[in-house]
Structure 1
Amino acid sequence: MDQLPPLPLQLPLDRLSTLPEPIIVEILSLVPTKTAVSTSVLSTRWRSLWTQITCIHLDYNHFPQHSSDFYTVVNNLLLTQLTSPVLRTFYLHAPFAQHQHFESWLCHLSARNVEIIDIDVEVPSSRSDPTPGPPFKIPLCNFQTQSLVCLNFRHCRLEYDLPVDPDAVVSLPNLKKLGLSLNASQCVFVSRLLKSCPLLEDLSLSAAERRHGRFTFEDADTGAQFGISSEILKRLELILSLMKVKVLIDTPNLESFSLIGIKMDCCFVKKPIALSEATIITVFPAVVAPLMPVLLDVRVLHILGVTFEMFEGLKDDKGNFLIFRNLDELNLRLSTGKVDELKMFPLNSHSSCLLHHVKKINVVVIRVEHGLNLKKLAHYFLDNAPSLEKLSFVARPQTSPSEDGVKSRLDEMVFCMDLYSCSRESPRCLIEFQGQYAKVPANIAELQDMENQVQLLCQSLSPSHAVRTS
């Protein structure tokens, strides 16, 4: 029988290149812009496909060889190379030193009917560059772009010029997400701006800084005020820090609320019926106490820095504490387990109103020290939360594992042994600890093994570090 001739060697089929150009351009628009540009070397057909992308994602960290002239890279891309008449998304992560060019870029984006502007400015610390930086200007055209759905300046608590002219036309009929920094003098404009955003669902306002890494103390005591009124706003974040400002909130359908501030006076016109999650970060109970009745029905509550004195106002006409009946998850954050910090949690009827229905409690600490004090906190939660299903402690140290490793390992092991021995009101409650060195023993054998390790560690330390393991 004659042998058949060998089949010719076939190269792998390039299925991507067989797609229509509009689909290829759509795919290139979804990847980082540097990756899209790199496809120009694949073939003659691909040489100019990337210039039609409609989404720009530029991070100066992706251009280390051009870090000194990043402005030129962005400028050439926007003004000369991209051919699409419409730009849907513009994400930019740039150093503070380049911010003087933002105004021209933002104007160009508005002219091309941009839908999403998301700018993340990397601001150096005040120690590395203590000189004040000039504010960058957000042009008025950005507040008149009919196509804009998202205008977000992330992680840049910088002072920038806003169009405060009362006669200026402001109209953002399709905007759904807005993130801005502001100083006290700009609060009036913000109130007017919000009225021009009938579809706004997500709002984040933060206090501006005039110096790198420094809050605007000049604006902290000016006593500004403004209102936030919206029937459809779902998420509100106020990071007003040192600003002395009064905020009147009328958002009946709000679902998520975050408050980070010290001097602010914040109050709701009426209780949002859909509020399910709240984050409270402040060291002054007087800031939070008026808000507590509004937060009674949340399902998830995040607390940092507040004290349980803020629950003092949660009483009915007979003096009984009101109960968080819908609370499923409580998240606390401590820097250590030291006595001074735990004074924020007096472990009495003020805080027990939180625990009647809670199912999950997460406690984050920077470092486990003085484990007996954290043990008291764990005992309190376990004894007063009859519906608790999971109690979790997480240690997130700011130092490397090698620094003071023996002492840290010992502290974590002793705390895990304490957690293992804790009694609990809810018999099905799971107790977890996530640290650098240890976890809660799963059974008696693991407990005995941990006890032996603790004894060895105690012997390796000086008498002043001796730890009671019982």
Structure 2
Amino acid sequence: MDQLPPPTKRLAVDRLSTVPDPILAEILSLVPTKTAVSTSVLSTRWRSVWTQITSIHLDYNHFPQHSSDFYTIANNLLLTQLTSPVLRTFYLHAPFRSRQHFESWFRHLSARNVEIIDINVEDDSKLSDTTSVPPFTIPLCIFQTQSLVCLNFRPTRLDYVLPVDPHTVVNLPNLKRLGLSLIASQCLFVSKLVSSCPLLDDFSLTAAQCSCHGHFTFDDDDDDDTGDLIDISCGILKRLELNTSYMKVKVLIDTPKLESFSLKGIDVACCFVKKPIALSEATIITNYPRVVAPIMPVLFDVRVLQILGTSLHMFEGFKDDKGNLLVFHNLTELNLESSTEGVDELIMFRLKSPSPCLLLKVKKINLVFSSVEYGLNLMKLAHYLLGNAPALERLSFVLGPQARQSEDGVKFRLDEMVFCMDLYSCSRESSGCQIEFQGQYAKVPANIAEFQDMENQVVLLRESLSPVDADAVKAS
């Protein structure tokens, strides 16, 4: 029988080398720019592939060995070495250090028809004095870059100014997402900017400085200069986030297709021209009822409501003229975050004669508090929620990251266990409701056996406490 010929030796094929350079450049555009640049050492062929990338992702943390020269490196990459005629994305995450490069960068980006600009500049604690440095002025060419889809200046340490002249030409026909900070003198320009973006569906605005003090409403005279007016008129806007904590401002909102609304403020008066019929989610961060009351008619039909702050006092804004809680027709999820001290104000819930209107259709309630030290007040809240939510499926208590504890942790652990046992014993309007507790030491018992085991642990912990601390736990 003839012997079979030996198998042919196949040479290893480098499939990646057969990929055209433009496709390789698109792949490298998906990774951090430092990673893309590092491919230049692979071979002669790869030496210049990265220069064709269409996305720049510059993160200060990716350059630890050259941190002192970060801006110089970024300047060379962007202005000198890149060869692609189009730059889709420019992302910058860096410390506040120098403005000298920014103007040339933005003009360069505009010339390359950039689509996404995302700036996140952080505080540099090494700088002893930044107050003497003038703010960076955003070139007008950015507001005339027709290719822009996303322009996001996150609340940063980079002090920049927008144009003040409301007659400035704005040409952003493709902009869909906008995030800005502003000072009082720029309100008119921001109003013009929003109305000049026909495709804008996501807008985030942060006030950068306080212009005056006191509070006001839309009932103030038009010639009263106690506040600054921002007119947000956009026919297709779906998400609006306002952070006016550092500025006294009036906001006139005309967004009929709004779906998500977030408001954080102290001296802010919001007025909706028309109720957005699609609004389904709202987040309110304030302690002041006067901020909440004017927008209550807009919130009646939301499905998800988040109340975040340091006090539950702002719930006064959820009452009608007779002091009763208002009706939320579609509310299915309620999220509350407060310091424990604010629970002392739970009288506003009318705990002795509660009204179920707020909780009639609620299925999920998430509560975040700083401590269970004052367990009696929190239990009042738990009894109210569990006794007035017939559709409730889950009630969750979470201790926030700022949770306090005693030096040895014994009393804190005991507080948690006593609170969990009380939660387990609460009567529930909804028989299928599950109660969860996320603390540091304890969780709600799942059955009688776990309850009895927790009782035994409580007895042991109380015996280990001093008489004064033990009496305090019993009182709570």
Q: TM-score, normalised by structure 1?
A: 0.90
CA 1:357/1:123 → structure 2, altered by over 3 Å: closer, same or farther? same
Structure 2 distance, partners of 1:299, 1:314, is 24
Structure 2 distance, partners of 1:58, 1:400, is 38
1:380-459 alignment to 2 at 5 Å?
A: 380-398=384-402, 404-459=408-463
Q: Which amino acid aligns with 2:373?
A: E
1:127-146 alignment to 2 at 5 Å?
A: 129=128, 131-132=130-131, 133-146=133-146
SS at structure 2 position matched to 1:354 = helix
Alignment correspondent of 1:89: 89
**1:407-453 deviation per Cα after TM superposition (whole angstroms, max 9, x unaligned):** 33222222211111111000000111112222111111111222222
**1:10-55 deviation per Cα after TM superposition (whole angstroms, max 9, x unaligned):** 76x6444443322222111111111111222222222211111111
Native 8 Å contact 1:321 1:353 kept in 2: yes
Alignment correspondent of 2:70: 70
Residue 155 of structure 1, CA deviation: 2.9
CA 1:320/1:444 → structure 2, altered by over 3 Å: closer, same or farther? closer
1:250-269 alignment to 2 at 5 Å?
A: 250-269=254-273
Q: Which amino acid aligns with 1:428?
A: G
Q: Which amino acid aligns with 1:376?
A: K
CA 1:345/1:41 → structure 2, altered by over 3 Å: closer, same or farther? farther
Q: Does 1:311 align with 2:315?
A: no
Residue 4 of structure 1, CA deviation: 7.1
Native 8 Å contact 2:210 2:248 kept in 1: no
Structure 1 distance, partners of 2:234, 2:396, is 37
Native 8 Å contact 1:308 1:351 kept in 2: no
Native 8 Å contact 1:184 1:219 kept in 2: no
Q: Which amino acid aligns with 1:21?
A: D
CA 1:348/1:301 → structure 2, altered by over 3 Å: closer, same or farther? farther
Q: Does 1:327 align with 2:331?
A: yes
Q: Does 1:47 align with 2:53?
A: no
Native 8 Å contact 1:158 1:181 kept in 2: no
Alignment correspondent of 2:244: 240
Alignment correspondent of 1:27: 27
Native 8 Å contact 2:365 2:396 kept in 1: yes
Residue 124 of structure 1, CA deviation: 4.7
**1:353-375 deviation per Cα after TM superposition (whole angstroms, max 9, x unaligned):** 31111110000123332222211
Structure 1 distance, partners of 2:8, 2:395, is 66
SS at structure 1 position matched to 2:73 = helix
Alignment correspondent of 2:217: none
1:195-206 alignment to 2 at 5 Å?
A: 195-206=195-206
CA 1:27/1:384 → structure 2, altered by over 3 Å: closer, same or farther? same
Q: TM-score, normalised by structure 2?
A: 0.89
Residue 403 of structure 1, CA deviation: 5.6
**Aligned length in residues:** 458
CA 1:10/1:107 → structure 2, altered by over 3 Å: closer, same or farther? same
Q: Which amino acid aligns with 1:312?
A: K
CA 1:78/1:158 → structure 2, altered by over 3 Å: closer, same or farther? closer
Alignment correspondent of 1:464: 468
Alignment correspondent of 2:219: none
Residue 456 of structure 1, CA deviation: 2.1
1:97-116 alignment to 2 at 5 Å?
A: 97-116=97-116
Residue 337 of structure 1, CA deviation: 5.8
Residue 321 of structure 1, CA deviation: 5.5
Alignment correspondent of 1:376: 380
Alignment correspondent of 1:186: 186
CA 1:399/1:340 → structure 2, altered by over 3 Å: closer, same or farther? closer
SS at structure 1 position matched to 2:98 = helix
Native 8 Å contact 1:159 1:181 kept in 2: no
Alignment correspondent of 1:357: 361
CA 1:111/1:355 → structure 2, altered by over 3 Å: closer, same or farther? same
Q: Which amino acid aligns with 1:308?
A: F
**1:85-135 deviation per Cα after TM superposition (whole angstroms, max 9, x unaligned):** 11101111111113443222111111110000000111257x985652532
Q: Does 1:294 align with 2:301?
A: no
Structure 2 distance, partners of 1:330, 1:96, is 38
Native 8 Å contact 1:220 1:242 kept in 2: no
Alignment correspondent of 1:274: 278
Native 8 Å contact 1:289 1:313 kept in 2: no
CA 1:430/1:42 → structure 2, altered by over 3 Å: closer, same or farther? same
SS at structure 1 position matched to 2:358 = coil
Q: Which amino acid aligns with 2:474?
A: R
Greater shift in the superposed pair: 367-376 or 52-61? 367-376
Percentage identity across aligned positions? 73
**1:152-174 deviation per Cα after TM superposition (whole angstroms, max 9, x unaligned):** 01132754221223443211111
Structure 1 distance, partners of 2:231, 2:371, is 40
Native 8 Å contact 1:157 1:206 kept in 2: no
Structure 1 distance, partners of 2:459, 2:245, is 46
Native 8 Å contact 1:414 1:469 kept in 2: no
Native 8 Å contact 1:337 1:373 kept in 2: no
Residue 457 of structure 1, CA deviation: 2.1
Structure 2 distance, partners of 1:422, 1:70, is 58
Alignment correspondent of 1:213: none
Native 8 Å contact 1:413 1:438 kept in 2: yes
